[in-house]
Amino acid sequence: MAQKCVNWGNGFGTRWMGLNVPWGIFGIHGTNKPYSIGSYASHGCIRMFNRQVEELYPLVPWGTTVRIVNNGKMFSPNLKPVKIKKGMSGQRVVYVQSRLKELGIVMDRADGRYGNMTELAVKYYQVWHDLPATGEMDEATYRAMGMIP
């Protein structure tokens, strides 16, 4: 949890809990449009009814790690194998970093930044699985990591 505040701005309801995401501003928050709960009205935030986010707010300390998973996995089952490499950032990088950790390759936390450690971890995985050691995520590496069928 990167920040917490009451009445962060218009449309965000009565509480805002900001997530530390390097590629944008996202948070867990209430809404002044309760009819939008459960729809794809957000651009990445988690919307809650104001009364529910007011209950959650005091229970979540500043600095809490938030992981959003689907059936225990950090990556989407509909993941498209887009090439990613050092210098890039985003949710897809988080998916790769989380999967590397699941596979036992220890590195820094999954922060969404494809830096030196992520490149090294991908190269290590590629060498370990007889793939070309480019340090870049390509279709063969996604497949070998079990991220695509």
Q: Are residues 7 and 46 in the same domain?
A: yes
Domain end point (choices 59, 75, 105): 59
The pLDDT value recorded for residue 79 is 76
Instruction: Convert the pLDDT of each residue in 96-140 to its tens digit.
Output: 998 999 899 977 778 888 999 999 999 999 999 999 999 999 999
- CATH number for the domain that contains residue 137: 1.10.101.10
Same domain, 80 and 114: yes
- pLDDT on residue 83: 94
Single out the residue in 42, 59, 76 at which a domain terminates. 59
Q: Which of 147, 144, 96, 143 is nearest to 120 (CA)?
A: 96
If asked whether residues 30 and 8 sit together in one domain, one would say yes
Could you tell me if 107 and 128 lie in one domain? yes
Exposure pattern of 43-70 as b/e (b: 16+ CB <10 Å)?
eebebbebeebeeebeeeeeeeeeeeee
pLDDT at site 74: 66
Instruction: Work out how many domains the chain is built from and give that number.
Output: 2
Please tell me whether residues 88 and 145 are part of one structural domain.
yes
Q: pTM for the complete prediction?
A: 0.66
Q: Note down the domain range covering 122.
A: 67-149
Q: Do both 123 and 80 map to the same domain?
A: yes
In degrees, to the nearest 5, what angle opens at C-alpha 111 toward C-alphas 109 and 116? 80
Q: Please tell me the predicted confidence (pLDDT) of residue 124.
A: 96
Token readout for 111 is 């922060």
The confidence score (pLDDT) of residue 86 equals 96
pLDDT at 80: 83
Instruction: Let me know whether 80 and 107 are in one domain.
Output: yes
pLDDT digits (tens, 9 = 90+) for 18-65: 887 767 788 899 998 888 888 877 777 889 999 999 999 999 988 888
CA distances from 98 to 83, 94, 137, 145 (A): 17, 6, 14, 11
> Which CATH number fits the domain that encloses residue 40?
2.40.440.10
**Average pLDDT estimate for 60-73:** 79
